[in-house]
Structure formats: C-alpha cells, structure tokens
Structure 1
Amino acid sequence: MKILDWYIVKRYLGTFLTMLLLFIPIGITVNLAEKIDKILANDVPFVEVALYYLNFTIYFANLLFPLFLFLSVIWFTSKLANNTEVIAFLSSGVSFWRFLRPYMIGATIVCLGAFVLGTYLAPRANKGYNEFIYEYLKRHKKDKETKDIYRQIADNDYIYVSNFSTKSKTGRDFTWEHFDGNQMTYKISAARLKFNPKDTTYTLFNYKKRTIGIDGDILEGKQKLDTILPFDLDDLTPVKYIAETFTTSELRKFIKKERARGSSYISRYEVTLQKRFSLPVAAYILTIIAVAVSAMKRRGGMGSNLAFGIMLAFIFIFFDKIFGTLAEQSDFPPLVAVWLPNILFAILAVYLLQNAKR
C-alpha cells in the first residue's frame, strides 16, 4: 500500500477503536443504571455482575459495530474534508474510486474481525449474558416455550405436550406416536409426564399404550409408569435465545434439527443465522455511504455530516428491527427480512456515491 492507503487505514481503524472505547462505557453505564435495583434486590454476587458486563461488552460491540464504524468514518472523513485534505488527494490525480480503496481495506479488516467475533466469541458471551438476565433479572418470566410443544424426536417418532412447566419439569397431555412409513404402529399417551433429574427418567401418570395390529389392536394401561424416553428436556424445550449461543456451523445443524421437529421458533433462528452474514456486508455499505456523505466540505462542517449520519443510522436500525420482528412474528421470509435493509441502503449508497464523484 502507498502512503495515502496507510494514512487512511490507520485513521479508519484508530477512529473506530476510539468510538468503541467511547460508546461501550456509556452503554455499560446506562445498562447498570437500569438494572442496579434488581441486582441489589437479588443480592447478585460481584463476580457474576463482573462476568455479566464482560459478556455485555462483547454482545454490545458485536451487535452495533456497523453503526460504530459508520459514525467513525463520517467523523474522520469530515475532518479530512474540513482540512481540505480530500481536495488535495483528488487534485493530485487520484480518482474517487482510488480514494475509496483504503476505506474498503479498513472495512475488510474490521469485518473479518467482527465475523470471527460473531462466530466464536459472541455465542459464548450471549449465553452468559442471557443466562444472567433470566437467572437474576427476569426470574418470573419464561424463557422457554411452554404450550403446544410438538417435536419429531426421530425419523418415525413424534411427541406432543399441551402444556409444560419448566419449574416443576412436568408436561400435560403427553402423546408419543410411532410410524412405519405412513402407518402408525403404536401410540403412547399419558395425562401427565414428569421428568426426574436424579436418574434422568420419566414418570407417566395414567399411562396408555395402543399397539396397532393386523388382527386387532393391543391395549395396555397403568396408573403410573417409570421409564426412560429417548429425548432430553432441554432438547425438547430449548430456550428462546439458544440460537445466539451456537457457532455458525452448530446453528445450521440446530436449525435443520428443529425444522424437522416442527419448532415454532424457526424464523427466530433463521434471523439470527442470516444476521451473522448481513452485518459484515452492512459495514461495507455504511462505509461507502459515510464516505459519500462526508467527503465534501460543507458549510455546516462536521456537525451537519454527523447529524445526517446519525439520522441514517437510526433509519437503518429502525428497518433492521422492524423487518427482523416481522420475520419472527409472522410468515415473512427471514432471508428477505434480514437482507432488505442492506439492499435499500446499497441503492442509497450507489446514488450518494454518484453524486459525490461529481
């Protein structure tokens, strides 16, 4: 790289890291001010609080790094424009595309780091972050689906529970159906199912089994039956945030398994998976927009560029949240919901870039 490239890349990375160091303590302070009453009321150990905010830092940085990147590019590029450095670069015969190249190099470095963070470090941080919230801050709120649970536990086996209590580990109206091709061969039902953590067995109350045969059905029944069943409760009722705790490869396998089981949270899991790829791409798009907006010297100076940039950042967050929630709560395709904000802002980036080149 030439002197111009090194100069801009160093400013790019340095301003981005400075922006992180400025905003993360603010985020921690706001979060602590909001939750300090519950933390004190629940007598949360200091070590747990310290680990929570370490995980919160990783979670916060991974979630908002494209916006930090966007604001940092506007900041230092506006300073370059106000010091007439951009004019000097372009007047020396450097094309606007050539001027944009070190920005893309810097974005690539940041995005690679963010991809590694989101794939390996962030899942572990998300697990600790969410576990702390449900353990100490949301003790009376449910983090698992508890009604109308339907799962495919094997190629030919399906189970159903009308209601499940995570506290007592008890399910009601339990049904297990086994098929041979399209033909049901037996069906097990119980009015109540209880999991026994000590020996990982299940107790079936008002147990009934119907074996379907050619010459007639065989019926069995007991008031109470202790047995072993081929599924685990955590596997049967996964927490809502579980997708955030997997690496990308683990998440793909988990989605495949949950889709076969008929999980009601497939859209939520798909949104989580797609965002791991859309956020790095968004960083490139936002970088181009930031350069196009701030490369020109304006009357309002850096303030007008930052005001316009913050407005665009809030619009991006708004679209991202709206479409993400729409995909999780309806039949709207998660792939479209996650990538649509990027597509809209990519069109805006092309438009602004053409104006900036003029």
Structure 2
Amino acid sequence: MSIIDKYILKRYLATFTVMLLMFIPIGIVIDVSEKVNRMLQNKVAFSAIARYYLDFTIYFANLLFPIFLFLSVIWFTSKLANNTEIIAILSSGISFNRFLRPYIIGAGMVSLFSLMMGFYLVPSASEGFNNFRYRYLRGNGLNEMRQTSDVFRQVNDNEYIYVQNFNQERGTAFKFSLSKFKDQKLLFKIDAERIRYNPKTKNFTMFQYRKRTVGALNDKLEKAEKKDTIFSFELEDLAPTVYVAETLSFGELNKFIEREKKRGSSNINTYLVVLYKKYSIPVSAFILTIIAVAVSSMKRRGGMGMNLAIGIALAFIYIFFDKIFGVLAEKSTMPPLLAVWIPNVIFGILAIYLLRNAKR
C-alpha cells in the first residue's frame, strides 16, 4: 500500500468516525428532549435509560451508517479537490481507477464491520431499544408490541391455533381454539373461553374447556370448567412480538424464518426484509462511496457547499427509496428480495454513470 493509499484511507476512516461521533450525540440530545417527560412520568431508572441510549446508539449507527459514510466521503474528497490534491495525484500518472482503490478498501472494512454488527450485535441492541420504547415511551406499548387480536397460526405440521384477543400483562388469551388434522381430516378441536399461561409451571390453564374428538361414527365430547395442560407451542406463538425478527442473530433468524414459513405466517415478508437488509446495507457502502467520489472529486464553482448539497439530496433520495420499497415488500405482493435490492440497483447504475463521467 502506497503513501497516497494510506493517506486517503486514513482520511476516509477518520472522517467517517468523526461524522458518527458528531451526529449520534445530536440524535441522543433530540431524543432526550422529546421523551424526558415520558421517562419521568414512568419513573424509569437511570440504569435503564443508560442502557437504552447505548442500544439507541448501536441501532441507529447501523441503520444510518451508509448515509454518514456517504456524507463523510463527500466532505473529505471535496477538501482534497479544493486543495488541488486530486489534480496532483492524477497528474502524476495515477489512473482514476487506481485513485479509487483506497476508497474501496475503506468501504470493504466498514462493510465487513457493519455485516458482523448486523449479524450479532445489532439484534441485541434492537431488542433492548424496542423493549424500552414499547414499555415506557408509548401509551399502550405493551399491547402494541405484540399482535394481540385475531391471532391465527400453524404451530406445527398438524396443529392450528386461534386467539381472538390476548392480554400481555396477564398472560391470558380469550376465545382460544386448537385444531389438529391428519391427512387433511380433523382429529379433534379444543375450545376455551380463556387460557392462561403459568410461567412457574410452564403450562396452560384453560377455563370453560371443551374438546370434540371426531370419531368414525360418533363424536366424543369432553367438558370441564378448568383444565391444566401442556401444549407444543409457547406463549410467543399466541402473541408474537411485532419486531421479533430484528432481535434475532443471523443463525436464529434463518431458523425462525423457516419455522414461520411452515406455519404460514402472514408476516413472513416482514421477516425476509429484515434478513435481506443485513446483506444489502453493507453492499450500499461500496455503491455510495463510488457515487460520493465521482460527485466530489472535481472542483465546482459552488465549492464544497455544492458537493454537500448534491450529496444530501442523493442521501434523502436513497432513504426514500429504501423506505418505500421496504413498505411495499411488507404490505404488498412485491417479492422482498427485489424490494430490498432495488435501491442498490438504481444507485449502482447511477454510480457507474457518474464514475464514467468523472473519468472523462
């Protein structure tokens, strides 16, 4: 690695780090100013608040790192251009592609770090961040954090459950039913007006229990005011957390998605979007780095301000596309893989076009 490579790579990583260290405290201050009243009302312990803002930092640093990276590359490359350093480098016989090499190395280092964070560190931070937000910062957070009404799920190959309503605080479900099939024939159906989970014994108590077993000639009917039993499903199956996919590590997320596919989950597209973004976000670092260098490597009449204006505009367009197509994947029939990668494809084409112009 030459002196020029080390010089550019050092500036690349240092500017990106400073950009993160500048904007994250600003985000924390804004968040505190908006939510301090709610925290005081709920008498949240200082240790819980400190942990929340640690998770907040990791969560948003991973979410917004491509934008911070993009703006930091534009910033220091514009300074190089204004100081005519880029002209001197290219005039020495170094090609534009060779000039890009330390940028690509820097993007690779940041992407690898982001990928590892997304696989292992961010899920834990996401769980802490969302749990705190739903528990203390939202009006009806404990109920909003789970799907609590009209829950219909396939818990294994043969059993299906339905819950009309679920009370998170009491661990109680209302209008519960479980149906078991074999070879597309109903074997039995269990109904209960109320079902409660017992965390100590890890079993369920059913109230006004009714079981109908389908026979060849006659059905068998069983009733009881109260009955304790153990089911093959867990409490999470009755009321899954809406952000559960964000809280799972890479291996756990893959297993969870396979299990939810077998269950016929209606939220499978949401889970797939989370999985595919673990790959698409690190790749975006390369694309946005190339765009940033192509935009800011030439002197403009407006100077660094013009380059930053162009960069901020492109950053907002990228965020807009990312959010729009993410929602389309979750709420429509658009394939999640296509929706997640469309912003990178569009900006990848833009990167190639701008790079060709910059070479000229």
Q: What is the TM-score normalised by the length of structure 1?
A: 0.96
CA contact (8 A) 1:194 1:202 kept: yes
1:227-306 residue pairs with structure 2 within 5 A?
Answer: 227-306=229-308
One of 153, 161, 185 as aligned partner of 1:151: 153
One of 193, 198, 201 as aligned partner of 1:199: 201
For 1:82 and 1:313, how far apart are their aligned partners in 2?
22
Match of 2:32 in 1: 32
1:172-183 residue pairs with structure 2 within 5 A?
Answer: 172-183=174-185
Match of 2:169 in 1: 167
Task: Give the Å deviation of 1:235.
Answer: 3.6
For 2:337 and 2:214, how far apart are their aligned partners in 1?
43
For 1:194 and 1:329, how far apart are their aligned partners in 2?
32
CA contact (8 A) 1:289 1:352 kept: yes
For 1:14 and 1:201, how far apart are their aligned partners in 2?
55
Match of 1:66 in 2: 66
CA contact (8 A) 1:170 1:192 kept: yes
For 1:88 and 1:235, how far apart are their aligned partners in 2?
63
Tell me, what secondary structure is at the counterpart of 1:240?
A: coil
Task: Give the Å deviation of 1:139.
Answer: 4.8
Task: Give the Å deviation of 1:228.
Answer: 1.9
Task: Give the Å deviation of 1:191.
Answer: 2.5
For 1:165 and 1:267, how far apart are their aligned partners in 2?
26
Match of 2:112 in 1: 112
Task: Give the Å deviation of 1:177.
Answer: 1.4
Task: Give the Å deviation of 1:320.
Answer: 0.8
Spell out, residue by residue over 1:209-244, the C-alpha distance to the aligned partner (whole angstroms, 9 max, x if none). Answer: 222222332222223222222221124322111111
Deviates more, 1:212-221 or 1:136-145: 212-221
Deviates more, 1:117-126 or 1:194-203: 194-203
Residues 1:224 and 2:226 aligned together: yes
What residue identity is the alignment partner of 1:329? K
Task: Give the Å deviation of 1:169.
Answer: 2.2
Among the aligned pairs, what percent are the same residue?
A: 59
Tell me, what secondary structure is at the counterpart of 1:332?
A: coil
Spell out, residue by residue over 1:296-334, the C-alpha distance to the aligned partner (whole angstroms, 9 max, x if none). Answer: 111111110001000100111111111112222222221
For 2:139 and 2:248, how far apart are their aligned partners in 1?
24
Deviates more, 1:83-92 or 1:235-244: 235-244
Spell out, residue by residue over 1:255-284, the C-alpha distance to the aligned partner (whole angstroms, 9 max, x if none). Answer: 111222232321211111111100011111
For 1:14 and 1:194, how far apart are their aligned partners in 2?
55
| Alignment RMSD | 1.4
CA contact (8 A) 1:150 1:261 kept: no
Residues 1:56 and 2:56 aligned together: yes
CA contact (8 A) 2:188 2:212 kept: yes
CA contact (8 A) 2:153 2:263 kept: yes
Match of 2:327 in 1: 325
Deviates more, 1:4-13 or 1:164-173: 164-173
Tell me, what secondary structure is at the counterpart of 2:173?
A: strand
Tell me, what secondary structure is at the counterpart of 1:171?
A: strand
CA contact (8 A) 2:150 2:163 kept: yes
Tell me, what secondary structure is at the counterpart of 2:170?
A: coil
CA contact (8 A) 1:150 1:262 kept: no
Task: Give the Å deviation of 1:182.
Answer: 2.0
For 1:132 and 1:303, how far apart are their aligned partners in 2?
39
Task: Give the Å deviation of 1:94.
Answer: 1.0
Deviates more, 1:190-199 or 1:71-80: 190-199
Tell me, what secondary structure is at the counterpart of 1:44?
A: coil
Match of 2:123 in 1: 123
Number of residue pairs aligned between Structure 1 and Structure 2 = 358
1:72-87 residue pairs with structure 2 within 5 A?
Answer: 72-87=72-87
CA contact (8 A) 1:126 1:245 kept: yes
CA contact (8 A) 2:198 2:205 kept: yes
Q: What is the TM-score normalised by the length of structure 2?
A: 0.96
Structure 1, unmatched stretches of 5+, are none
